[in-house]
Structure 1
Amino acid sequence: MTDRNYSSSANSPDLDWSQVRETINMLTLAVAQIESTMKEGEQSVSELTESFTYVASKLSNLAESGKSLQASNTSDQESIIESIRGESEDIRSHVSNAIVAFQFYDRLSQRLDHVKRDLMWLSDVISTPDQLYNPSAWSKLQKDIASNYTMEAERIMFEHIMKGATIEQALEIYKHHFNKTLDENGDTSGDDIELF
């Protein structure tokens, strides 16, 4: 899959098995997780900025419509009221979108907590001599990490990194599967938000 030979062999170690290679794979995974989380964060912040700018503009339009309604004659009032209803519906829709974008921060926090937890587990393996040189300890670490993913895209990214994919390849795979889920479901909130 890649020109670097960092594929994990912890499940079936051979004479070439190395805890250094396993450590590199786990650190590569952490970097890929952080990178994908940050990219999604940038998109969410952009959506929030656009939503709040739009809502502020619409509120200004509503204030102007209210002033016009007070000063208008009866024949103009119906069109002004219809305009106010339309502006109000636009605001409601954009506030709903902003709420969804805010939910991203819950996911961001959860995913970064997972990276922290995984790095702590890695630290435990590396700092314990009888585990450091034991392929079964590395295999258990990988299985524990894989079992805690809530998104299919994360599981797939993990599998590819364990097979030796680069960060760029793993991110492209993640992006493809994340977008596929988004297209199929309309959102991924049910798949990746955990309640504590």
Structure 2
Amino acid sequence: MNMSNPSARSADFEGVEFTNPYKLQELTKALIKFSMQDGDRASQELSVRLSNIHDQFTALEANIDAGIDIDVAKMSIMQGMSELTCCLVELQFFDRISQRMDHAIQSLDAVSEDEATQAGIGGIFTMEDERILYSALIEGYGVEGAVQKVNADLVSAANDGEDDIELF
């Protein structure tokens, strides 16, 4: 699949329609559930990292008061800055959650405006995990099954060394 071309992504779902409003409801629930699950994980990881940074700088302050060597202090500061950089990268994740929620709302709006626009719903989803959810639901997976499929596919991709960077 061509990930760099948004129109190529949309074409993957051309002609697929949600003729059953229940399927659209299932898709929306799956997007929300996956986003919440993903958000909880990221929030916990971020909380741990921020606690570690706090502990590092508290220890550094005590060591400075005790007359620590300047090179050791610099190393501790560099480690804290590295950890802080990781936190900033993790915060970008929350933009993905916002996009997923927006895509779920757009798909509901499309159906409520006109059933003829249902075929365009697949084109709304720009992230790989959303497309996997969409496909899984079209294939008959329930919400739980679709979320499990996305998680399994993402773990498999990570194990294969694929980057988790997507251009939206």
Taking structure 2 as the reference length, the TM-score comes to 0.80
1:92 aligns with 2:81: yes
Query: Following TM superposition, by how much is the alpha carbon of 1:12 offset from its aligned partner in structure 2, in angstroms?
Result: 9.1
Moved more, 154-163 or 35-44: 154-163
Cα distance in 1 for residues equivalent to 2:148 and 2:91: 25
Moved more, 24-33 or 176-185: 176-185
Aligned to 1:7: none
Letter in 1 for 2:95: D
Aligned to 1:65: 63
Cα distance in 1 for residues equivalent to 2:123 and 2:47: 35
Q: Is the 8 A contact 2:106 2:124 kept in 1?
A: no
> Structure 2 residue aligned with 1:181, among 151, 154, 157?
157
Cα distance in 2 for residues equivalent to 1:12 and 1:47: 37
Aligned to 1:72: none
Cα distance in 2 for residues equivalent to 1:119 and 1:153: 18
Taking structure 1 as the reference length, the TM-score comes to 0.70
Larger gyration radius, structure 1 or structure 2: 1
Cα distance in 2 for residues equivalent to 1:109 and 1:120: 16
Aligned to 1:149: 125
Aligned to 2:6: none
Query: Following TM superposition, by how much is the alpha carbon of 1:165 offset from its aligned partner in structure 2, in angstroms?
Result: 1.0
Cα deviation 1:16-71 (Å, max 9, x = unaligned): xx94xx101111000000000001110111112111111111111111121122xx
Letter in 1 for 2:60: L
- Matched residue pairs, number? 153
Percent of aligned pairs sharing the same letter:
22
Query: Following TM superposition, by how much is the alpha carbon of 1:150 offset from its aligned partner in structure 2, in angstroms?
Result: 2.0
Cα distance in 1 for residues equivalent to 2:98 and 2:133: 19
Structure 1 unmatched runs, 5+: 1-10, 70-76, 126-130, 132-136
Letter in 2 for 1:120: D
Cα distance in 2 for residues equivalent to 1:91 and 1:45: 19
Question: Secondary structure of the equivalent of 2:150?
Answer: helix
Cα distance in 2 for residues equivalent to 1:30 and 1:168: 12
Query: Following TM superposition, by how much is the alpha carbon of 1:170 offset from its aligned partner in structure 2, in angstroms?
Result: 0.4
Cα distance in 2 for residues equivalent to 1:101 and 1:158: 25
Cα deviation 1:49-108 (Å, max 9, x = unaligned): 111111111111111121122xxxxxxx6xx33431332222112111211121111111
> Structure 2 residue aligned with 1:28, among 10, 26, 29?
26
Q: Is the 8 A contact 2:34 2:147 kept in 1?
A: yes
1:111 aligns with 2:111: no
Aligned to 1:51: 49
Question: Secondary structure of the equivalent of 1:38?
Answer: helix
